[in-house]
Structure 1
Amino acid sequence: MRLVVADDHPLFRGALKEAVLSHHPRATILEVGTFDALTALLENDAEFDLVLLDLTMPGARGFSGLIYLRAQYSALPVVVVSGNEEPAVIRRCLDLGASGFIPKTMDTRQMRDAIADVLKGEAFVPPDITLGASSDGEADLIIARLATLTPQQVRVLMMLAEGRLNKQIAYELSVSEATVKAHVSAILQKLGVESRTQAVIAVSKVETGLWTQPQA
């Protein structure tokens, strides 16, 4: 059993680690505190049974980290762990491909049981939360279009959302500016928009109105 705990709070990483080890004492658990550290780890070795992902940490915000992991490592189960327990946030995580959602308010025993369910192949959502059906057709359409992006296009889109220029993106990805421009053109076409600004706005609509409390 091999897992990754990705969270920028050491104490909470420790709690998740304790929850896993209480059920799987021989499990190998690696910890990272930034999204860049997570991607570097997975680029070197992606043979893990599960990633426990905080939605917001250095290098990622909102759903960007989850979107990237589902594009780059489609076979790797990802469970979101967050302090934001809004039903709309949980549903959006599941829509984007998460295998489950664990609120940070759960105690160690509840986390242990939730992780055990996911490792058995079951999706986990808090039993006391009613998700209901999605009522945001526009966001659902954007999510469907995001699913058509390649992993590299997702990375470029994340950097566009951070306001980076083509030159900066090319340097970060070790590619030419022409390659970045090609990715941007493909992203615009797949998202059905005409400019970089519209692409960023489209992605922001997936999150609009969902962060009614501090992200964690």
Structure 2
Amino acid sequence: MDRIIVADDHPLFRAALVSALAHAAPGARIDETPSLAGAREALSRGPIDLLLLDLRLSDSDGFVGLAGVRADFPAVPVVVVSASEDGETIARALSFGASGFIPKSATLETMVEALSAIRAGEIWAPANLAAGASDGIEARIASLTPSQLRILVGLQQGRLNKQIAFDLGVTEATIKAHLTGMFRKLGVQTRTQAVIAARALSLPL
């Protein structure tokens, strides 16, 4: 039996996704959660066949949640669902490793079509909207290790090395070592340049 997680903080839209899954994945066990923390907790109990993830949750806004899940659970296909459905957002989601993108404006029929295609191993996005990413920074961020990604988020939040070290339960020397590897992957040389690169984790306004 397939096990699928639906992570969305809007009960009505969760219900719509569950209804679509009833057609696309009949008999699947579906876990519903309104938060990224709930999704990660369910993922830790794996195995999971599919995660449907809203880009805007109470504890995650933008692509941080998607990038973190892809880093920590690379074998789990992730479908992004979002009210932000412009070409740039869709392209970023796919660049960060999403297996598909379902706009919240989609009809039930379209949701079923998308979920069926994704479960068959296809990459699905709305036609004519998945424009190419502009500079490839999303792919470079997606290549970071889970620790490097957490450090990048810390830099984006303006936290010092010692604060990030405390958050991760490691030494400052370890943080500096991770920064060296992270800078190399991102193609940057300074913290400021890394923070600028990290803007790719935010949703367009």
Q: Which TM-score tier does this pair reach, normalised by the shorter chain?
A: 0.7 to 0.9
Aligned to 2:70: 70
Aligned to 2:83: 83
Tell me how far apart the structure 2 counterparts of residues 111 and 59 of structure 1 sit (CA, whole Å).
Answer: 25
How does 1:135-154 map onto structure 2 within 5 Å?
136=134, 139-140=135-136, 142-154=137-149
Aligned to 1:6: 7
Q: CA deviation at 1:49?
A: 0.8
Tell me how far apart the structure 2 counterparts of residues 36 and 160 of structure 1 sit (CA, whole Å).
Answer: 21
SS in 1 for 2:121: coil
Tell me how far apart the structure 1 counterparts of residues 30 and 163 of structure 2 sit (CA, whole Å).
Answer: 34
Q: Once superposed, what is the RMSD of the aligned Cα atoms? A: 2.2
Residues 1:169 and 1:132: Cα distance change in structure 2 (over 3 Å): closer
Which deviations, in whole Å up to 9, do the C-alpha atoms of 1:44-73 show, x marking residues without a partner?
Answer: 223111111111213322222222222222
Q: CA deviation at 1:149?
A: 1.4
Q: CA deviation at 1:160?
A: 2.3
Q: Which moved more, 1:74-83 or 1:170-179?
A: 170-179
Aligned to 1:125: 125
How does 1:36-115 map onto structure 2 within 5 Å?
36-42=37-43, 44-115=44-115
Q: CA deviation at 1:207?
A: 5.9
SS in 2 for 1:203: helix
Task: Return the letter of the residue paired with 1:121.
Answer: G
Aligned to 1:211: 204
Q: Structure 2 length normalisation: TM-score?
A: 0.87
Tell me how far apart the structure 2 counterparts of residues 64 and 94 of structure 1 sit (CA, whole Å).
Answer: 14
Residues 1:29 and 1:72: Cα distance change in structure 2 (over 3 Å): same
The answer to whether the 8 Å contact 2:90/2:129 transfers is: no
How does 1:165-184 map onto structure 2 within 5 Å?
165-184=160-179
How does 1:189-204 map onto structure 2 within 5 Å?
189-204=184-199
Tell me how far apart the structure 2 counterparts of residues 87 and 77 of structure 1 sit (CA, whole Å).
Answer: 21
SS in 1 for 2:60: coil
The answer to whether the 8 Å contact 2:88/2:130 transfers is: yes
Which deviations, in whole Å up to 9, do the C-alpha atoms of 1:67-90 show, x marking residues without a partner?
Answer: 222222222111110001101211
Q: CA deviation at 1:174?
A: 3.1
Unaligned runs of 5+ in 1: none
- Aligned residue pair count: 204
Task: Return the letter of the residue paired with 2:130.
Answer: L
Which deviations, in whole Å up to 9, do the C-alpha atoms of 1:112-149 show, x marking residues without a partner?
Answer: 2211111111111123x343444x2xx31x23322331
Tell me how far apart the structure 2 counterparts of residues 191 and 49 of structure 1 sit (CA, whole Å).
Answer: 30
Q: CA deviation at 1:159?
A: 2.6
| Percent identical | 46
SS in 2 for 1:185: helix
SS in 1 for 2:32: strand
Q: CA deviation at 1:211?
A: 1.9
Tell me how far apart the structure 2 counterparts of residues 31 and 163 of structure 1 sit (CA, whole Å).
Answer: 33
SS in 2 for 1:13: helix
